[in-house]
Structure 1
Amino acid sequence: MSAVAAIHAHTIEQLLSAVLPLSIDMDYWAAQDSGAISLALYFVESLPARAYVCITKAAAAMIEFAMRDNVSLRQVAEELYNFLSTRLLFPDLPLVRNSSLARLPQVPEKVNILSLTRREVRGKLRGLELARNSLALQIGQLSQASAVDNQTAISVTGLVEQIADIINSADRSRSEPISVQGDADLATLAASTLDMARRINSLSSSQLHKIKAYRRPSLFTRAWLPGIVVLCSVRYLSQYISGRSEDIANWAKDSLTTMCNYVSQYIIQPLRSGYETIRYGKHTYSVTTEESLVSDFQSLEDMVVRFASRFGNSDATAIRQRVMGGDLSDVMSVYAREMQQPFRNVLFGDLVQAMLIQVQKVKVDVGQTMAALDKLLKSNELNFLLLSTVPATLTLYSAASWVSSLLSRWISGASRHAVASIQVSMRDIDRLLNIDESKPVPPAVQGQLICLTLDLRRQALALPNAAAPGVLRLGHNWLPAPPRARSMFLQDVRDLESARLSGRQKRQVIERMHRTFRFL
């Protein structure tokens, strides 16, 4: 029993190892069918292989046709015209039955290349889906048979027969298929088990060989066009850089100098001035000085005192007090009298001196206004310094955020794609379990569940598994993760894989996963 159990587990492992390449191939064909550009690129990439197949088939067919008796030159020309048709570029399509050699793919007359390519891609995708469903059915049958055998202790003969049927269907080229009779004795059963153990290692490769025509093209076919583009681009860039190395070096140096000056003048220096203002009381913004205002005011007082003393007012203290309060009545009374005969007094009177005193008064008033403005600037100097750094700081912050977003996408790319794949797989599992919950899970559904949980196991490696609560980074967002998130997630995956649970119990497992893991 232990040997049969080991072979049973190894058989499921081999079948699952064949499912993973199928999923990769299906993703490739789905990507090619995503748009006209993808289809055109695929056609160009596969064009050399198509041309090779077309030429070889045409040559073989023409040789066969020419070797026939009673063949006219006109018939040869007609067949040559048929073989030169673009239909031979699509050898996977159905064949034309009314051709003399029945070798031409059956394609409607008015169909463009992209439509033919799309038909070919979707045909390969359908073939892979059928192959995966067949593998899922075999996996589901083995899984449910194992669960039944463990519960009811039934003879292992039925399980061995199922494994033998799977091996025989995968490798039909062998002349001696494995045969297990229901009433076989222990020796025959042991010999069959040993034969299965030897042939089971090639089960995965045999399954993949059966669907070789539906798999994605070879690495050379997929890489030759991008390789040529990369080589041409590298060659052009190398020539461009080698011919302008000095200009590029100067451009890089000037760019670095410009960035350094920009940061220094618009960020570092204003911040340094703000620090000096806070720490040492040093002022950067100033429109006038106190000494200049005091000097102008003293000059105005002296001018008014001398002017008033000429007209009999000798109380200098009273005059200075009136000037300090802004009163120029000692000058304005003389100015009003002198304005009665302005032309005469300009030449022979005191009108010019009175006007100059008023000009000095205006200068003093402007100085006082500028002093008030200077006090306002000094009281808000720190605000102005900080505001002057805002545009440059926002520019640098935007550039840094853009670079950080690129780096975060690159760093968290694995976890982001893993979570997206997990969400897609959980959605597919939910669709599979949309069945009658009162009935047992069918083998095909059970096998597809195991295939989907295989993807879940692979993507679960990106989940944190620390003992403390963690976080999962998805681009700019951080999602909370429970303690031992990976272990808990794999436990739920094992519950979904179990053939002993009913459909209702598995849906309850999915609901528990949605309650536990926020990223779902």
Structure 2
Amino acid sequence: MSFVVDQVCRIDGQLDRLHLCRPSSAPLSPVVSVTSRVCRDHDDSRLSGEDLDATRAIQLQLAIKALSTTASSRALLQPEKIQTVLARAGLAEHPSRDENEYETGRASSREQELEWLLVSKAVAQTYGLVLNLLLEKIIPLSRDVWYWDEVLGSYFKTGLYSLQISPWRLREWSNEIYDDAWRRLQSTIQRSEDQPIEIVPLSSHWRQFYGLVKDSVHERSLADMQTKAVSLFARCRAEARDKRSHLRRFREISACGLGVLMNEGLSFDVADDGSMTSRGRSEEERDEWKLVISKSVALMETVIRNVTVLEHGTSEFEEAVFTSVENDSDLRHQFSGEQELSSSSAMIAARLQHLLRVHIPTQAVESRQIVTRNGRPSRIIRYWLPVVAILFSSSTLLRVFLHRRAKIMTWIRELGATSIDFWYNWVVEPVKKVIGTIRHDEGSEIAIMSRESLQVDRASLERMVVDFARDNPDSGTGTLPNDIDLSRIRAKVREGDLTPVLRAYEKDLRKPFIGVVRGDLVRALLIQIQKTKVDVEVALGGIDALLKSQELVFGFVGLTPGILVCLGVSHWLTGFMRGRRGGKAEQKQGQTVRILRNLDRILTGSTPSNNGGMLSYKEHGMILCEVHVLRQKAQRILPGEIYIEFLEEINDLVDIRTGVERQIRVVDRIRWAYGKWLI
């Protein structure tokens, strides 16, 4: 939804309140009391006058319901739908009664009120269509203006633009030469017809035409000598500057028209009792809203007719619009007593149909022509250079592909095989190991050595030390050890104490040759080597236990590189497929930042009026365009509840009656309150 839909719904509600909350002296609708009788006697061709009035009332009420904003899921109807409803209502086919009949006839008064309500509903729908039409023309103009800014921003872009349009310039120049030569040939033939008849061969006409072409080219070249003094870049930049100026003026005038319609069109306040809040409650002042409806139709017609006139600025546009509405002949006669209210409603309906059928399509065509003449060139003009380059190089590319077909196919196969191996070796297998670790799978446990290795080596060391102590009693107590002593030695060996072996080793070191001959020194040395082996296995067992305690961490560490590579490739592919038009949140936020910047720039650079410090019509229209885009972007970013609060800020922002200072504070509040999502 946009602010146009909100505006139309608000006006539609005010019109319903004006109709429903009538003074008590006004008659009620006859539909409830006579509907059953009309439906019962529908096949009877002879209906009474009251039944005919009831049938007419039902017809009008059905038409009113079809034009209401609650009639369908779409609040704004198509122009064809509005014209169809007005045509079926047949306001011009039911002429008004005499004035005495309006004073005494209740049915005619009710019919008159229903006709006015029908016309007002149609005016509200047309009002929304006109606002949407202006919005759709203003918003895309920014892209065209940015294009010309880029062309004027660098000499490279200017040169590229001049190269892009060179074939079309050559075609225009050739057409001018051909038209000039053909016109001269026709005049020559016409002069020859006045002379005596003489048979002239066709070849002489061709030679004459060729000579005229040469003369036209020569004369045009001499005439363009002055323009040749100016460089091609300067002429292209001047052309781009003129087109940008026309687009900016068209955007400003359209924004001014949008602001005029938003401020002056259908601007009436309705109280709870259905009366105009700024008016009294006399019979004439209760019909003041009908004059507002009529003026709004004239205002829309005038804006539509003048919005494509680019010869004047915004001030002249405003003056022309308001002067045309004030001097409107239909408005002068409508409520001056010269016309009755029923005929006025029929006249407004006819004028509204003419607006929908003629003025709106004409304005759409004229706007499209302005954009075509002054907007950025078409895609054919912008991209014919790379297309031609690709076409000319296609044979070379095809030849290269055919000559290197085997290598290219090999690269493709190797790339596919590498991708598959990477997937299975660095993603699938690490995932399986992590899952096995989580499920305590013994096959997936990390182990530096086997579980029984340390126990076997330690038992061997105990037996070696015990046998050494039994064979060398002098290293211990000097007597043969008994079973208790051997158990004590075995316990000390488990704790790492090799005292019997070390004493014998120290003793043999005094006479090493004798110890070597006897073998005790070598035996003690080998026992110490076994002790070193056991110590190393104990250290490795601690490291093994540490690795097992962090086995899940190491599993995820092994899985991380594959996951990161896969995420990076998928992110790149997603961005490549989406392109510049991707719906990334970062791009949306960047767009909202630029919109907030434009809003702040318009408000801070505005020139408020002396009456309340309000914005001008042009500045108000520019604010409405930016707000329209901001609402569409915010609806995709903000959560539901936050978006509802955001709409309250938007309504405060577009309300120019509060003044520029308060609008600037609203922009600041939007920036800090919703910066989490918008910035």
Instruction: With the length of structure 1 as denominator, give the TM-score of the two structures.
Output: 0.69
Other structure's SS at 1:289 match: helix
Q: For the Cα contact (< 8 Å) 1:293–1:367, is it kept in 2?
A: no
Task: Give 1:257 shift.
Answer: 2.0
Aligned mates of 1:334, 1:213 — CA distance in 2: 113
Change (3 A) 1:21 1:10: same
Q: Which residue of 1 aligns with 2:416?
A: 252
Aligned equivalent of 2:636, options 459, 462, 466: 462
Q: For the Cα contact (< 8 Å) 1:283–1:381, is it kept in 2?
A: yes
Q: For the Cα contact (< 8 Å) 2:152–2:241, is it kept in 1?
A: yes
Change (3 A) 1:357 1:140: same
Deviations along 1:156-181, one digit per CA (max 9) or x if unpaired, are 67655544444444678xxxx99943
Task: Give 1:56 shift.
Answer: 3.6
Please state if 1:427 is matched with 2:597.
yes
Q: Which amino acid aligns with 2:592?
A: I
Q: Which residue of 2 aligns with 1:276?
A: 440
Task: Give 1:136 shift.
Answer: 1.4
Aligned mates of 1:141, 1:283 — CA distance in 2: 79
Please state if 1:108 is matched with 2:230.
yes
Task: Give 1:197 shift.
Answer: 3.9
Change (3 A) 1:119 1:296: farther
Q: Which residue of 1 aligns with 2:376?
A: 216
Q: Which residue of 1 aligns with 2:28?
A: none
Q: For the Cα contact (< 8 Å) 2:446–2:548, is it kept in 1?
A: no
- Between stretches 509-518 and 439-448, larger displacement belongs to 509-518
- Between stretches 356-365 and 193-202, larger displacement belongs to 193-202
Q: For the Cα contact (< 8 Å) 2:602–2:623, is it kept in 1?
A: yes
Please state if 1:285 is matched with 2:448.
yes
Q: Which residue of 2 aligns with 1:326?
A: 498
Change (3 A) 1:161 1:371: closer
Q: For the Cα contact (< 8 Å) 2:461–2:531, is it kept in 1?
A: no
Q: Which residue of 2 aligns with 1:185?
A: 333
Q: Which residue of 1 aligns with 2:540?
A: 374
Task: Give 1:132 shift.
Answer: 0.3
Q: Which amino acid aligns with 2:626?
A: L
Aligned mates of 1:295, 1:214 — CA distance in 2: 99
Aligned equivalent of 1:402, options 546, 557, 568: 568
Task: Give 1:308 shift.
Answer: 5.7
Task: Give 1:286 shift.
Answer: 2.3
Task: Give 1:396 shift.
Answer: 3.2
Task: Give 1:131 shift.
Answer: 1.0
- Between stretches 156-165 and 212-221, larger displacement belongs to 156-165
Please state if 1:204 is matched with 2:378.
no
Q: Which residue of 2 aligns with 1:451?
A: 625
Q: Which amino acid aligns with 1:198?
A: R
Q: For the Cα contact (< 8 Å) 1:127–1:214, is it kept in 2?
A: yes
Other structure's SS at 2:440 match: helix
Aligned mates of 2:631, 2:445 — CA distance in 1: 65
Q: Which residue of 2 aligns with 1:139?
A: 258
Aligned mates of 1:414, 1:336 — CA distance in 2: 82
Aligned mates of 2:331, 2:503 — CA distance in 1: 141
Deviations along 1:307-336, one digit per CA (max 9) or x if unpaired, are 5689x9661446896694423366347624
Q: For the Cα contact (< 8 Å) 2:151–2:161, is it kept in 1?
A: yes
Instruction: With the length of structure 2 as denominator, give the TM-score of the two structures.
Output: 0.55
Q: For the Cα contact (< 8 Å) 2:305–2:359, is it kept in 1?
A: no
Deviations along 1:390-429, one digit per CA (max 9) or x if unpaired, are 6533323433553575588769826544443333223322
Q: For the Cα contact (< 8 Å) 2:181–2:216, is it kept in 1?
A: no
Deviations along 1:101-121, one digit per CA (max 9) or x if unpaired, are 68x757734x7x5x7655544
**Aligned-residue CA RMSD (Å):** 5.0
Q: Which residue of 2 aligns with 1:88?
A: none
Change (3 A) 1:457 1:67: same
Task: Give 1:266 shift.
Answer: 5.5
Aligned mates of 1:333, 1:423 — CA distance in 2: 86
Q: Which runs of 5+ in 1 are unaligned?
A: 84-98, 470-481
Task: Give 1:214 shift.
Answer: 0.9
Matches within 5 A, 1:313-392: 315-317=480-482, 324=493, 325-327=497-499, 328=501, 331-332=504-505, 335-336=508-509, 338-339=511-512, 342=513, 345=514, 350-351=516-517, 353-383=519-549, 385-386=551-552, 388-389=554-555, 391-392=557-558
Aligned mates of 2:353, 2:446 — CA distance in 1: 94
Other structure's SS at 2:560 match: helix
Q: Which amino acid aligns with 2:591?
A: S
Please state if 1:125 is matched with 2:240.
no
Change (3 A) 1:293 1:397: same
Aligned mates of 2:454, 2:381 — CA distance in 1: 81
Aligned mates of 1:13, 1:201 — CA distance in 2: 11
Change (3 A) 1:262 1:399: closer
Change (3 A) 1:18 1:49: same
Change (3 A) 1:44 1:394: farther
